[in-house]
Amino acid sequence: MAFLDTLPWNLVILACLTLGLAPFFPEPHIWEKLKMLAAGELAKPIDIFDLVMHGAPFVVLFAKGLRTVMAG
């Protein structure tokens, strides 16, 4: 978990805003994949890969935030 401590906040936030939300129009890709997941339409391997790829920066952001709060 020391890896999370070495990541600067601005890099994590930038990754969320770029990779996490790209492409921006007509809607963010992560939002499209989450809607597909909720509808039960997320079945193709490429769609699952897209969800993981675009969701990873948000998972890192959440983990870093949780680690920061728990550290005091």
Residues belonging to the chain:
72
The residue segments making up the domain with residue 10 are 2-71
Using alpha carbons, list the distances in angstroms from residue 13 to 8, 18, 33, 45.
9, 9, 20, 27
The string of pLDDT tens digits covering residues 36-72 is 999 999 999 999 999 999 999 999 999 999 999 998 7
CA dihedral sign of residues 63, 8, 3, 22? positive
pTM of the model: 0.87
* Number of compact structural domains in the chain: 1
DSSP structural state of residue 40: T
Task: Report residue 42: phi and psi, to 5°.
Answer: -90, 85
